[in-house]
Chains A and B, each alone.
Chain A
Amino acid sequence: MSQELSVFMQQLFNALTISGVYALVALGITVIFGLTGIVKFSIGELLTLGAFLTFAFWEGGTTFFLAVPLAAIAVGGFSLLLERGAFRFTLDQPINGFIVSLGLILVLQNLIIEIWGVGFKAPIRPFTQVWEVGGVSMPVQRWFVVWVAVVIIGLLFMVLRYTKYGRAMRACAEDRDAAALMGIPVALVIAGTFALGGALAATAGGLLASLFAIQPFLGSQYLLKGFAVALVGGLGNVEGAVIAAVLVGLTETMGSGYLATEWRDAYTFGLLIAILLVRPRGLFPARGRLQETLQ
């Protein structure tokens, strides 16, 4: 392989890992938005919480492979409680839900600081090997993260398409009232979706804890990127979020790989503006009554 090609392949691999994480966060945002019209900004903090819980479980002796699902379940449950305690009162006014999530950012971020302090935690590395193929360095840990993301996304698609709960979710997303008239317990589905969104974000956080050092302000960066991804893909559209995640991951990686690095965020947000100007509701707009009234 020529050097240029191997560098390019290396950058592609770099982009792949980060896209997987963005996709998980964006899916968390997008499923909740699709159902409720609430943009849950505090999902960034749920990601941080997932990362720290994973670390705490791991530190307590649990293996990393069990720590991540445990953290995801815990955060999913916590997210469910938040829905029951706060978000369900804002379903008529999604903007209020958005504001509640802003307030929760403060609460959760400082809660994490109270519990774990402001310091960082070094990454957990279950796999330390690095594969070298044609000049491309591929840490096994990164492959692991990519595959976990792919499997989770695949599972999510299967659940949405082929299970009763998945169909109910899609029905609620498209038309909440009509879904209720089918006998679907809409409130339960919404609560379940909050749990799912939280669990997805926490999984992303757990995976991040194996790649990078984590600190209590971790969530905000991923939230903003995840939100950008969800918007580019079309808020509420699950397939769109995955494609957009790859697009944003590539832009960011290639932008900082081949152009001036310090302008990286400008590339990403420039792309976002350009796409939203051409397609104001994202590349693959979700179609439902909620989306029509909100956007």
Chain B
Amino acid sequence: MLKIRQLSSFYGPIQALREVSLDVDSGEAVAVLGPNGAGKSTLLRTISGLVKPRSGSILYREHEIVGRSTHAIVKLGIVHVPEGRRIFTQMTVLENLMMGAFTRDNKKDIEEHLEFVYEFFPDLAEKRRQLGGELSGGQQQMLAIGRALMSEPSLLLLDEPSLGLSPIMVEQLGKTITAIRQDLGMSIMLVEQNAGLALELTGHVYVMQAGRVVLSGATDEVSIEEIRQAYLGGVSNS
């Protein structure tokens, strides 16, 4: 479904991605792990078109998406839930969700999706008239994901969704993500610091270090020890 080959990106003058290659299959959940500054967020930003890569290719359902603008990529079905939620704090929950449906024109269709998201996240239904900025951290995360679901993506890019959430909320988040993959059949690419959570939710894991993929494998084949090793050093592969 998503084939990334030899992708290199720069963050200002700093090279953030060095010839990264990575695959996400249809209906699969993939975790990208790595320390701060490893280039995980840049990877997602490059996929969603916020960062233009210097070289390499990203094939999505056989379409080359490098060079397309972000809104075109969203239309293709890739939706990126950025780090730190980035919900619209000055808009109501409802307006936030409506923003998620920006690419859709069919009113009835939008209404149906809205109902669906409210069912999925009952908290949001309750607070639909409140400003996004007034929600708790966990609710904001739900709103960010719910907003992304409004456009019915086929690939969901989640950047550090567990950041700043309480353990109970993290647990609920895990359930939600599993539900999205299993019930809605969406593919998920999950960037996480919380390796335990990531490994629990995904079937394949990539570990990044200093802009490179230093380790990859099926979740059940890779040991925590190997990952820790890759986190700390990554030297062997460089």
Instruction: Give CA–CA (A184, B48) in the complex, Å.
Output: 13
Stretch at the interface among A115-123, A167-175, A203-211: A167-175
Decide if A177 touches B82 in the complex (CB within 8 Å): yes
| A178 and B74 within 8 A (CB) | no
Q: Bound state CA distance, A180 and B102, in angstroms? A: 10
Verify B90–A183 contact, CB threshold 8 A: no
Instruction: Verify B102–A170 contact, CB threshold 8 A.
Output: no
The answer to whether residues A177 and B50 also contact, given A167-B95, A183-B71, A183-B103 and a CB cut-off of 8 A, is yes
Find out whether the CB atom of B88 lies under 8 angstroms from the CB atom of A170. Answer: yes
CB atoms of A181 and B88 under 8 A apart: no
Whether, in the assembled complex, B147 has its beta carbon less than 8 Å from a beta carbon of chain A, the answer is: yes
A177 to B50, CA, bound (A): 7
Q: Which of A164, A175, A185 sits near B88, CB closer than 8 Å?
A: A175
| B82 near A181: Cβ-Cβ < 8 Å | yes
Interface presence of B194 (CB below 8 A): no
Asked whether any CB of chain A lies closer than 8 Å to the CB of B80, the reply is yes
Q: How far is A22 from B122 in the complex, measured between Cα atoms in Å? A: 46
A287 interfacial contact with B, CB 8 Å = yes
- Does B202 touch A at the CB level, under 8 Å? no
Name the interface size band of chain B: 20 to 34
Q: How many A-B residue pairs have CB under 8 A?
A: 69
Within 8 A of B (CB), among A158-203: 164, 167-168, 170-171, 174-175, 177-187
Q: B153-192 CB contact bits vs A (8 Å, 1 = yes)? A: 0000000000000000000000000000000000000000
Select from chain A the residue with minimum beta-carbon distance to B81: A181
The reply to whether the CB of B211 lies closer than 8 angstroms to some CB of chain A is: no
> Which A residues lie within 8 Å of B102 (CB)?
164, 168, 182-184
Give bound CA distance, A186 to B100, whole Å. Answer: 14
How far is B151's CA from A183's CA once the two chains are assembled, in angstroms? 9
Q: In the assembly, what is the distance between CA of A175 and CA of B98, in Å?
A: 16
Contact with A along B74-117 (1 / 0, CB 8 A): 11000111100011111100010011101100000000000000
Across-interface contacts of B89 in A (CB, < 8 A): 174, 287
A220-268 interface (Cβ within 8 A of B): none
Q: Taking CB as reference atom, which chain A residue is nearest B144?
A: A178
Distance of A194 from chain B, by nearest CB (Å): 18
Min C-beta distance of B154 to chain A, whole Å:
14
Chain B residue contacts of A168, Cβ below 8 A: 99, 102
Q: Please tell me if the beta carbons of A181 and B91 are within 8 angstroms of each other in the complex.
A: no
Chain B interface (Cβ < 8 Å from any Cβ of A): 48-50, 69-71, 74-75, 79-82, 86-91, 95, 98-100, 102-103, 133, 147, 151
Q: Given contact pairs A167-B95, A183-B71, enumerate 11 new A-B contacts (beta carbons under 8 Å).
A: A174-B90, A175-B86, A175-B88, A177-B50, A177-B86, A178-B88, A181-B86, A183-B70, A183-B75, A183-B102, A184-B71
- A–B pairs, 11, beta carbons within 8 Å: A167-B91, A174-B91, A178-B82, A178-B86, A180-B49, A180-B69, A183-B74, A183-B75, A183-B103, A186-B70, A288-B90
The 6 closest A-B pairs by CB, nearest first: A183-B74, A183-B103, A180-B70, A178-B86, A185-B71, A183-B71
